[in-house]
Structure formats: structure tokens, C-alpha cells
Structure 1
Amino acid sequence: MIRKLLPFALIVLLFSCNNNSTPDIDTSLPVSRPNNIPPPEPITFTVDSVYPHDPKAFTQGLQFYKGKLYEGTGEPKISSLRIVDIKTGTPEKKYVIPDPTIFGEGITIFKNKIYQLTWQNHKIFVYNLDDIMHPIATYNWSLEGWGLTNDGNNLIISDGSSKLYYVRPDEASKQMRTIKILTVADNTGELDSLNELEYIDGYVFANRWYNNHIIKIDTSNGHAVGIMDLTGLLHQYDPNDQVGDEAVLNGIAYDSTTKKLYITGKDWPKLFEVKLNNP
């Protein structure tokens, strides 16, 4: 009886081994997808100075321009645009958006005007540099707004995905005309949650939401070529900080004169002046 059943058992065993419905690996594990992109190189840095930062400023955008620090903050009812004294953290000028439903996001200075994104309101506000106390124009943006910078010719917008949108304002229609879309990836695949952005010498530096890294993106192909690890930065210089879970790294401003970065986070009590050792 055993001999008669053996061929049948062998057939069942072979079938089971080739049946994809019962794989012998854990399919819940992430799968590496080689894409011929080299891993990003670590970017080391030195903290030159630490300044106070408003711990109630939910930082969404940061821009250094002609000796002044501009900051856009979020959250309903208190979203704002500010000009901040770097050394004290105190706003020299502050405009609170009166519409309580607006959630402010990234900012950039483009062609002598300040542009400010909104998160899910599908609006981009425009201000004069010399008067931030009221918008002079409003543009429509169909996607979510997260980060904003520019390369001198185009605005560059992130929407929380792995995409960077190159757009130009169309004054007649008050829409943003898309010029190109860049997908950001490294050797592990596409990098999503792109947030606050800063354009520096042909590269885009980007925060990733809920991530302690800033990535350096080659704008010719979208490849992440560098990475800054800022894990523990705030705690190192403020061991008693009591920031909440939403108080994540977010805010990059570049001073092209000194070649230094200003870095902070949402509701962080500190602003860091950083020099890149291998930019």
C-alpha cells in the first residue's frame, strides 16, 4: 500500500513546491529593486551657530534673500508669512492669513515676488517683497502643495509624492502651467514624501516628511546624489526640548554669499546655521 501511494505523494509534493499560492518566502517584506542608480553620498556638515526660533512657528517654508530670513508657517487659523530676525528668532514683520481654513506651506522668492503655497486649498498667494501684509495675486494649483523653490526660470513644487513639478505662472488664467515633471529616486527606488525644498547651485535639497534626512537631488535626472543625516540634531543642542510628534525637521534656507544653510523644523525652538563640508 505504501509503495502504491509513493508516486502520488511525490506528485503532490512537486505540485506544492511549484504552487505560487503557498510561497516559501515572506511576501510582506520589502523587495529591493535595483535601478542602476548609485547610493547617495553622505554629506557631512558643521554647525557654526545656533539661534533661537519661535517654538510656535509650524515651519513650512524658509528662504534667505538679501540678508533677510523669510518664513512661511502652517496650521489653520494661524498660517503666516514672516520676515524674521535670525539672531533673536523674532518676526520683524508678520502677516497672518485671515482665512481660517488656509493651511500655509512652502515659500520661495521668484522674480522679486514671494510665492506661498497652501496645502489642500489649491491656492498660491503672491506678495510684493517690500509689503508682505497682503497678497497681490492668487494662483490656482490643482494638487496638494508641500514644498516650493525655484531655479530662476521655473517654480518647483512638491506635493508629498516622489514628483517635482516645474511650473510657470500664467497671469492671464491665474493657473500654473506645467513645464516638466521630475521623478526623484535613489538606489532603492522612488523617494516619496518630498517636502520643503531649496534650490542650490543646480541641485534641489529636500526634506522628507517624518524623516531626519535632507536629500540632494540632481535636477538633470532626479537622482538623489547626496544625503545629510540630521538625526538627533535638535536634542543635541536642546536636551530638554519638549517638541511633539508633528515637530519634524522642515526648513532649509541657503545664503549664497556665505554658502551656509539655515535649518530648522516645525515648532522647533532652534535655528541652525550649518556649513557643508562636502557640498
Structure 2
Amino acid sequence: MKRNTLGMSDLSVSEIGFGCMSIGTEENAASLLLHEALDLGINLLDTADLYDSGRNEELVGKAIKGRRSEVVLATKVGNRRVPGQEGLAWDASKAYILSAVKDSLRRLGTDYIDLYQLHGGTLDDPIDDTIEAFEQLKREGVIRYYGISSIRPNVIREYVSRSNIVSVMSQYSILDRRPEEDVLPLLRSKGISVLARGPVASGMLADSGDGKLSKGYLGYGEEELRRFRAGLRSAVDRPLAEAALRYPLADAAVGCVIAGASTPEQLRANVAAIAQAPLSAQELAGIRSAVPANVYAQHR
């Protein structure tokens, strides 16, 4: 499988990464999926301390035991559970990050994390404090590199200008072209890679996705989505899901597409799709004609 260098790091990542949130909570099934992903050439595994209250990290850690050197291990931090409080609290403080990383390391069964990501972020955060936490962890060898996971252009700009992030994980797909407006050009110019999540847009771009269209997506209604899908089928002579998975990779800023899978069949289909030829200039033009570029309503 083709690999790309992640930003200005020395991390070489497969064109498709595995979004581990989809593996479920049963250990044997999760382990089989993760081992198959590695056997198929996927080396980036993306999890978060938030997923299944830490259970996801535990399952990933158990699965990669004995194969740690094959894995670019990515996890995230920032969402905090407060005893006695419903839901989650956001905490981007240095003290919390330095504490939370220890729990992630324990659950993952490793002594270092390849890519540690802030799981969100706002302009009200103590951003310099947050950055110092990541820089300290880098100096200590606890993490190799860090990045952020965000769809907020103004937050992304702050980290681009003030930190040494090597990546930005952001939602990007044929149905969510918002990053094309200014985020992708900014990251391209700074040598920072995008980890594109949500490439099949919650199944709306899956070949069997017609049944999901009634739910709508990013303000698009069912009829609009049906029109988009018909236009895309005319624009590309390949399965819709294949075009969807390959589309983000057409931008030079994108280092990896993050896709989940809950069955071996889904996983193999994703890998087979990404192994196909890149979209041609004609296909890209047809896709962009069929689905207009949307923009961020708020530049938060």
C-alpha cells in the first residue's frame, strides 16, 4: 500500500488509516479486525481516550501487542469525565493533558504514542498552555509528534501559527468540501498533513447508501442528496464508495483517509478501493460539478 509522510515528521502512514471507533467492544472480534488491517498494509490506527470510555484504547493496545513496531499509533485527548457529572467536560489544560496521557499509555500498553492529538479545541482554550503540554511530552519522548482534530478554521489557524503540529484531522469528503475554501491551502503551504475523516459521509456516499438519505446531511435534504448521488454516478465510472475514499487524496495536503470498518468485508472493500488508480482530472471536475463546494457558516 502507498504511504505518505505525515507533515514535517518522519512518520510514514498508509493512504488509508483505520478509524478504530468502529471496532466494537468485543475483544476477539476487535483483535481480528485490527490484525487484518495490519496484514492488509494499514499502519495508522486512530483511537481516542473518549471512545467507549477508554475501552477502545485497551482493545487496540491488546491487539497490537507484539506488533507495536508496525503501527503508527494515534490517539486523542481533551474530553474529560468528571465524577458525579453527566456527560463530558472539555479540558485542554497542560495539567490535564500531562495526566491523561499516562492513562492512555497504560490502556494502550505502550511507552510512547506516535501521534497525540487534541480532540477538538476552542479559541477560549489556554492555547499556549496546551501547546507547552505537547511540547513537554515530545521532549520527554512520551509522544513522537502531535496534532489537532478540528473543523474550526480559526482554531486551526492558531495552532498552525503557534505550534509544531504535523497534522490536522478534519472532516472532508465529496459532501463536505468546506476545508477546500481556506484550510487545505493553508496546511499545504505550511507542510502540515490532513487526516481526512468521514470520507463516505456517514454512509451517504456508500454504494448501498440510498436508505440513509432521509436523515439528511449537513443541511442537505433527501432529494438534494439523491440528485448528488445521481450526478456522481454519471461523473465517475467506478463504484461510488471508491470515488468517495479516493477524493480527499486528490488534494496534496491530505496524507491519509481515515475510514472505519466493523466487519472484515468492509475493511477489505475499503482497502481494495484505496488501491485503485487516483481520480483523473476529468473525474474530479465531474465530481465538483455534481456536488457544489459548501462553506463554513461560522469561522469559529
Common fold by TM > 0.5:
no
Q: Which has the higher strand share?
A: 1
With structure 1 as the length reference, what TM-score do the two structures score? 0.32
Q: TM-score, normalised by structure 2?
A: 0.30
Report which of the two has the higher share of helix.
2
